[in-house]
Amino acid sequence: MPVAISPSFSAEPPSRCDSVWRGATLVTMQDGHYNLIENGAMAVADGKIVWTGSAADCPVFAGATQHEFSGGIITPGFVDCHTHLVFGGDRSAEFEQRLNGVSYAEIAAAGGGILSTVNATREASEDELLAQALFRLQPLLAEGVTCVEIKSGYGLSVESELKMLRVIRRLGVMLPVEVKSTCLAAHALPPEFKGRADDYIDLICETLLPVVASENLADAVDAFCEHLAFSPAQVERVFNAAKALGLPVKLHAEQLSSLHGSALAARHHALSADHLEYATAEDAQAMAASGTVAVLLPGAYYLLRETQCPPVDEFRKLQVPMALASDANPGTSPALSLRLMLNMGCTLFRLTPEEALAGITCHGARALGLQETHGTLEAGKVADFIHWPLSRPAELVYWLGGQLPCTVVFRGEVRGEFR
Ligand SMILES: [Zn+2]
C-alpha cells in the first residue's frame, strides 16, 4: 500500500475506511488558511476523517463506498458559534413599528423590546419553544451549518432558564447537528429584580448554575457586560461561580461602550469575547495573550446601523483568532443565514474572504472549545463537510445571501442535498 504524504497525515495510512470522497478541491482551513488540496481525496471511518491528501496519493480502501464529485470545492462544515435561536415569539411587529416612526422609548413603555421576548419565552411551553427554534434552525442547516451554539438568556428565572437549556439540549438530540449549549442567565436584569442586580447575580451563582452543572445542561457560561446589563464586577462573580463548577466562560463585551469586559474575559481565559466594537488595543493584547477568540457579529452592527467597527486590524496584527457568527436573536440580529455574515464580515468589517471563512470554520470551532475535533478538514476531525459546485472559496463570501447548491455531510453521512 503506498504511503501518502498529506498535510494531515504523517504515519501509516489507515487500514480501513467506510467512505472515500474525491473529485473536488479540499479547502482544508488548517491554521486558518484555505490550504487548498487540488483534486483532493478524503477518507472517512466511523464518522471521522482518517485521511486527506491528493487523490493521486489516496490509498486503496477495499470495500469503501466511493463518492465522486465532478469538480467544485469541499469546505469544513460551518460553525455558528454565537446564537440565541431559542426564544418565544418574535419582534417583527416592533421592527415594523420603528420603521413607521414609533420610538424605542414608546415601544419599551408598551412592554416591547427584550421584555416582550422574556414574557413570551416564560409563557411558552418547552414544546412550543422547540418548534419555534426548529423553524429558525432549518435555514442555517440547509446552507451547511453542522455545529451551532445556542444560548439561554430570555428566561431570566431559574425555572425559565432551565427550560430554555433543556430545549437546547433536545435540539442537539433531535437534529443532525452538533449543538453546544450556553447558559446566559446574566443577559438582562429581570423586571422583578429592578434595582437589585446583585441579588439576581446571587441567584445565578448560588442557585441556577449549580443545577445547570449537575444536570449537564450547559457547556459554557456567558454574560452581557454593558452599562444597560451587568458591570465587570458582577460578570466576574458569574465567571468565578462558573469556573468553580468546571464550566468555561465567554462574554458579550464592548458592543456599545468600553468597559474592558474583553480584557476581563481574557484574564479568566474565556473561550471568546463577542461583539467587541469598542474593544481597545489593550483589550486585544489581553485576548492575544490568553488565546481568547474574538467573535465578530456583523448582523447586530448592521441592524443597529452602528458606525464603530471592531478593531480588526489590531486583532489581525496580534493574531487574535477572529470568528464570525449570526448572533441570531429576535431583537438585534434576526439572521437566518451564516453565509450572509461572511459577506457582511467582509463588506462591513473589512475581513478578507479567507479570514471570514476561517471565522465560521476553524476559529468558530475554537470559540466553542472544539478546535481539536471540528473546523478543519484533517485526519482526526469529525467528518462534517460541505461540497459546493463552486470554482473557488471566495464565491461563498461573494454571493450575497441566497441558498447555493450544496451537499452537506454530517459525521460521515450525507445529511442533505440542495440542488
Ligand atoms: Zn449575543
- From the number of C-beta atoms within 10 Å of its C-beta (0-12, 13-18, 19+), residue 199 rates as exposed
Measured in Å, residue 338 CA sits from the centre of ligand 1 at 14
4 in a structural domain: no
The 3-state DSSP class for residue 371 equals: coil
CATH number for 29: 2.30.40.10
Q: Which residues have beta carbons under 5 A from ligand 1 (an ion)?
A: 327
Q: Collect the ranges in the chain with pLDDT lower than 50.
A: 1-10
Q: Is 82 annotated as a binding residue?
A: yes
Pair 367, 250: CB distance under 8 Å: yes
Segments forming the whole domain that contains residue 406: 19-76+376-414
Task: List Cβ neighbours of 212 (8 Å cut-off, separation of 6 or more).
Answer: 161, 162, 165, 183, 218, 221, 245, 247
* Cα angle: 103, vertex 306, 313; to 5 degrees: 170
The 3-state DSSP class for residue 150 equals: strand
Give the per-residue pLDDT at 1. 37
Measured in Å, residue 328 CA sits from the centre of ligand 1 at 8
Cα separation, 296 vs 45, whole angstroms = 34
* 145-151/78-80 β-pairing: parallel
**Do 45 and 99 fall into the same domain?**
no
Measured in Å, residue 107 CA sits from the centre of ligand 1 at 21
Measured in Å, residue 44 CA sits from the centre of ligand 1 at 35
For residue 305, give the nearest of 326, 325, 333 by alpha carbon. 333
Give the per-residue pLDDT at 11. 58
**Do 236 and 150 fall into the same domain?**
yes
Measured in Å, residue 288 CA sits from the centre of ligand 1 at 22
Give the per-residue pLDDT at 353. 98
Q: Is 240 annotated as a binding residue?
A: no
Per DSSP, the residues of 31-53 read GGS--EEEEEEEEEETTEEEEEE
Measured in Å, residue 419 CA sits from the centre of ligand 1 at 32
Reported as a single tens digit per residue, the pLDDT across 81-138 is: 999 999 999 999 999 999 999 987 888 888 888 899 999 999 999 999 999 999 999 9
Measured in Å, residue 215 CA sits from the centre of ligand 1 at 24
Q: Retrieve residue 239's grid coordinates.
A: 465567571
Q: Is 374 annotated as a binding residue?
A: no
For residue 360, give the nearest of 316, 393, 402 by alpha carbon. 393
9 in a structural domain: no
Measured in Å, residue 16 CA sits from the centre of ligand 1 at 43
Give the per-residue pLDDT at 5. 43
Reported as a single tens digit per residue, the pLDDT across 228-283 is: 899 999 999 999 999 999 999 999 999 999 999 999 999 999 999 999 999 999 99
**Do 261 and 391 fall into the same domain?**
no
**Residue 48, phi then psi, degrees to nearest 5:** -125, 150
**pTM, whole model, 2 decimals?**
0.95
Task: List Cβ neighbours of 111 (8 Å cut-off, separation of 6 or more).
Answer: 119
Count up the domains in the chain and report the number.
Answer: 2
**Do 347 and 315 fall into the same domain?**
yes
Q: Retrieve residue 87's grid coordinates.
A: 426564544
**Do 224 and 157 fall into the same domain?**
yes
**Do 382 and 321 fall into the same domain?**
no
Q: What is the residue type of 165?
A: L
**Do 42 and 87 fall into the same domain?**
no
282 in a structural domain: yes
Measured in Å, residue 91 CA sits from the centre of ligand 1 at 16
Q: Is 327 annotated as a binding residue?
A: yes
CATH number for 182: 3.20.20.140
Give the per-residue pLDDT at 49. 98
Q: Is 255 annotated as a binding residue?
A: yes
